[in-house]
Amino acid sequence: MKRFKFSFLLLFTVLVVGINSYAKDKNTTKTEKVYMFGFSASFNDSLVYITDIQGVDSVEIEPKTDFLVGRTAYGNQLQFYLADYKERPNTTCVVFFDKKEDKLRKKYNKILKRYKNSKETILKNLTRDEFSFKREINKVISE
């Protein structure tokens, strides 16, 4: 009976430690190189901007969802650039990203085709020389 209790206690301890370490590994963000491009449109204007596809190193990715950490900060980079250098302060900016450039290229071409052939909008391309995304260093602020 003592042997059974000892075995059960040992097994239980191993399981708890294993689950705890697995949970910690799943919750930590990982840094990777991703490819991204930005898109900007305004409800008040027919002018639409799209950036080139750019590789950004050491970007943090949420492990459970594979989502970009601080994604609004990357959209804000494009929005601030357009407000400061293109005099377009009221634009809505979106950032598309993927770990694989091929998959992102398909999204890019789909958006490009939609707005290039549109008679209601004017598509402007922002090259890497004009605008490039900078890696965001994320700081968690507790409220």
What is the per-residue pLDDT for 143?
32
H or E element: which one contains 80? helix 71-85
What is the per-residue pLDDT for 38?
96
* DSSP 8-class letter at 52: P
User: 96: which strand partners?
Assistant: 37
Q: Which amino acid is at 105?
A: R
Q: What token pair was written down for 112?
A: 């490009």
* DSSP 8-class letter at 43: T
What is the per-residue pLDDT for 124?
94
Q: What token pair was written down for 11?
A: 């097994």
What is the per-residue pLDDT for 19?
55
pTM attached to this predicted model: 0.74
Q: Are the C-beta atoms of 138 and 69 separated by less than 8 Å?
A: yes
Sort 6 into a burial class: Cβ within 10 Å, 0-12 / 13-18 / 19+.
exposed
Q: Would you give per-residue pLDDT tens digits along the chain (143 residues)?
A: 656 554 545 554 555 555 544 444 555 777 889 999 999 999 888 999 999 999 999 889 888 888 888 888 999 999 999 999 999 988 999 999 999 999 999 999 999 999 988 889 999 999 999 999 998 765 443 33
What is the per-residue pLDDT for 16?
53
